[in-house]
Structures are given as C-alpha cells and as structure tokens.
C-alpha cells in the first residue's frame, strides 16, 4: 500500500495541472477577445501618449 500513497500526490498534481492548462486554453480567444484586445490597445496608447507628452519640452 505504500506505493499507492507514493503515487497519489503526483497523480493529483498532474490532474490539477492538466485542468489548469485546459482552463487557460479555453479562455483564450472567444467572444471577449476583441474587447480585451481593445482595452490593452487603449492602455498602451494612453501610456505612449503620456510618455510622449513628458518628453515634449514646454515653453
């Protein structure tokens, strides 16, 4: 029975890791992908605009 006790933790971790990978893969893309991409693009544009504004010398 010691071999069962030795195998249970790695099997549980393998199942949990597989479930995590499946969840990550399923959450990629889909209906919200365009919305998420638009939010990231807006944040990047805002950051670039503020850094460009900071570099512009003021009179």
> Is the predicted pLDDT of residue 58 greater than 70, yes or no?
no
Tokens 């919200």 correspond to 32
pLDDT, tens only, 11-33: 999 999 999 999 988 888 777 77
Euclidean distance between CA atoms 27 and 9, whole angstroms: 27
Which of helix, strand or coil describes residue 31? coil
Euclidean distance between CA atoms 51 and 44, whole angstroms: 11
* Helices H / strands E in the chain, number of each: 2, 0
Note if the pTM is more than 0.75: no
Report which of residues 57 and 4 the model is more confident about.
Answer: 4
Q: Where in the chain are the domains? A: 2-55
Euclidean distance between CA atoms 52 and 49, whole angstroms: 5
């Amino acid at each position: 029975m010691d071999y069962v006790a030795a195998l249970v933790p790695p099997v549980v971790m393998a199942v949990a890791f597989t479930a995590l990978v499946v969840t990550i893969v399923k959450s990629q893309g889909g209906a919200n992908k365009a919305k998420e991409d638009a939010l990231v693009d807006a944040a990047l544009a805002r950051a670039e605009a503020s850094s460009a504004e900071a570099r512009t010398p003021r009179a």
